[in-house]
Amino acid sequence: GENVEQHPSTLSVQEGDSAVIKCTYSDSASNYFPWYKQELGKRPQLIIDIRSNVGEKKDQRIAVTLNKTAKHFSLHITETQPEDSAVYFCAALGNEKLTFGTGTRLTIIP
Amino acid sequence: GAVVSQHPSWVICKSGTSVKIECRSLDFQATTMFWYRQFPKQSLMLMATSNEGSKATYEQGVEKDKFLINHASLTLSTLTVTSAHPEDSSFYICSAREPWRGNGYTFGSGTRLTVV
């Protein structure tokens, strides 16, 4: 089955700086890669996603890049704000199933 | 967007008892729903895929006799944790595919289960 690795597990960033979280996946048939933000005790919230026929997607301060050849995809958050502090999960969709990465706890330092 | 309602949001039960968690799609029909379990500070792990009108498909290592899934209608899937033990304490979340967003998935609000 699919295996998704995510790094780093924790990340502290000064407010206003950029944050980058990276994921790799194993199943070349996976074709959809969402990123979720989860606050404590809450459901995951989709923040951005990318499909396998696209290399990059941007939505205001958030961008995702995908390298299908290397099976890498990354989340980029620019101009970070305190409300960006949360746990972020990448995921890969293959065979109708979403497999999640291990998560990154992002802390924005005011 | 698509809304999935999950109840209860939290439940405390005694060891050995059973607990039922409901997941409803409010504004769309979901022939397939997914059940995840999330332990503290860990990721979401898929437990099983719930299929309307047929048996659920369980992931490797998940006991089907312990985690009973019923998907009797196009809008309701239930997960029953039978003979619960403290190690079953976790955050359980259901999910369904949004019918008008291609590959988009929407999640229920989750159920915090504590077994004492």
Residue linked to tokens 């074709």:
A31
Q: What is the pLDDT of residue B101?
A: 67
**Best residue in B101, B105, B106, B111 for a mutation probing chain A (most A CBs within 10 Å):** B105
pLDDT at A29 over 80: yes
Taking residues B11-37, report their average pLDDT: 95
**Chain A residues whose beta carbon lies within 8 Å of the beta carbon of residue B105:** 34, 46, 98
Do A91 and B45 form a contact (C-beta atoms < 8 A)? no
Under the banding of pLDDT at 50, 70 and 90, the label for residue A96 is: confident
Taking residues A35-63, report their average pLDDT: 94
| B34·A31 Cβ contact <8 A | no
Q: What is the pLDDT of residue A106?
A: 98
Average pLDDT over chain B reads: 93
pLDDT at B112 over 70: yes
- Distance, in Å, from the CA atom of A28 to the CA atom of A69, rounded to the nearest integer, reads 9
Which residues 8-67 of chain A have a CB within 8 Å of chain B? Answer: 31-32, 34, 41-44, 46, 49, 51
Concatenated DSSP letters for B64-107? TTTEEEEEEETTEEEEEE-S--GGG-EEEEEEEE-TTSTT-EEE
**Best residue in B3, B5, B43 for a mutation probing chain A (most A CBs within 10 Å):** B43
How do residues B83-109 score in pLDDT, each as one tens digit?
A: 999 999 999 999 998 877 666 899 999
Residue linked to tokens 């792990």:
B45
| A41·B112 Cβ contact <8 A | yes
| A98·B110 Cβ contact <8 A | no
Q: List all residues 6 or more positions away from A68 whose beta carbon is below 8 Å from its beta carbon.
A: A28, A52
Q: What is the pLDDT of residue A54?
A: 86
pLDDT at A50 over 90: yes
**Chain A residues whose beta carbon lies within 8 Å of the beta carbon of residue B107:** 43-44
How do residues B53-86 score in pLDDT, each as one tens digit?
A: 889 999 999 999 999 999 989 999 999 999 999 9
CB pairs under 8 A between A and B: 46
**Chain A residues whose beta carbon lies within 8 Å of the beta carbon of residue B43:** 89, 100-103
